[in-house]
Amino acid sequence: MAALWRLLLLSALLAACELRCASAFRICAFNAHHFGESKSKNSVVMKTLVKIVTRCDVILLQEVRDSKRKALPTLLAQINRESRDQYDYVASERLGRTGSYQEQYAFFYRTGSVLVTGKYQFPDDRPGDKDAFAREPFVVKFKAPKTEIQEFVLIPQHTSPTNATKEMDALYDVLQDVRRMWKTENIILLGDFNADCGYLAKKNRDKVRIITDPNLKWLLPEDTDTTVRASTSCAYDRIVVNGRKLSNAVVPSSARAFNFQEEFRLTEDEALDVSDHYPVEVLLRSAAVPVKVRLRSAAVSLSCSLLLVLLMLLSQS
């Protein structure tokens, strides 16, 4: 009986800790692996996708292959039927060097806390190294009054696996263009960079400017596994923030891969029906609060962590 009570108390405390973080602003990126008409007709897959999207205030979806332009509206409609909050989305044109394989970037966002204030499709005929990307970034500026930084820009990229090093380096040029165009430092680069395993050799890392520039901070630990298959462990998907102000607005240690297979109790095959990638995410601090409130929150966080450790130790005794 004592063990049962300890377990119940531990569960309650975990719920309280999660609730404490719920007010933070969540930005996500997810390679939805060939999301198109076929997947949009799979009710089981769509149910999981809705759960993934509605965890986030803003989420980037990649590998959208919606040639008939029906899959994204179908997903939005289901989200808005099942979610307490309303969402909208903004999507790029179909991108790719050949007509046989093209993708879109799509950003879904919670309309009650986010507003799109700017869009920019990076051109494929820019001066210098033309056609550096298989799929040029579709850059979006968001206003988010409930966050500490109020406004930020997201630069997405799904690199070509065979050209990942060159495309990651070219993202640095996109970053500089966006900084000049919108006169902001609050910029996040995110997506499936293919930034690990056989696609980014260690000897090439010093050739990638978004890695070598000290003003850019890579949030996910290098050993993060962003892949679903048990047979792989690669940190393909990344989140990179620009500048000290934005770095300071990030909730410490909040960047992670979201293991939806474990969270939603799916088999590996069921998870792979959704995607072979996990979403990656990071939390931004809520709008500034008085110092006393912030200190109190920090104290609660420390107490919560200490009690969790204590209860876990007790549960094992």
The whole model's pTM is what? 0.84
| Amino acid at the residue 268 | E
Q: What is the CA radius of gyration of the chain?
A: 20
270 is catalytic: no
Q: Please give the chain's pLDDT, 317 residues, in tens.
A: 455 445 444 444 444 444 444 579 999 999 999 999 999 999 999 999 999 999 999 999 999 998 889 999 999 999 999 999 999 999 999 998 777 789 999 999 999 999 999 999 988 776 666 678 999 999 999 999 999 999 999 999 999 999 999 999 999 999 999 999 999 999 999 999 999 998 988 888 888 999 999 999 999 999 999 999 999 999 999 999 998 999 999 999 999 999 999 999 999 999 999 999 999 999 999 986 544 444 444 444 444 444 444 444 544 55
Q: Tell me the C-alpha distance between 275 and 226, whole Å.
A: 11
Catalytic position from the list 63, 136, 148, 158: 158
Concerning whether 148 is annotated as a catalytic residue, the answer is no
- What is the distance between the alpha carbons of residues 280 and 256, in angstroms, rounded to a whole number? 6
* Active-site position among 63, 103, 136, 167: 103
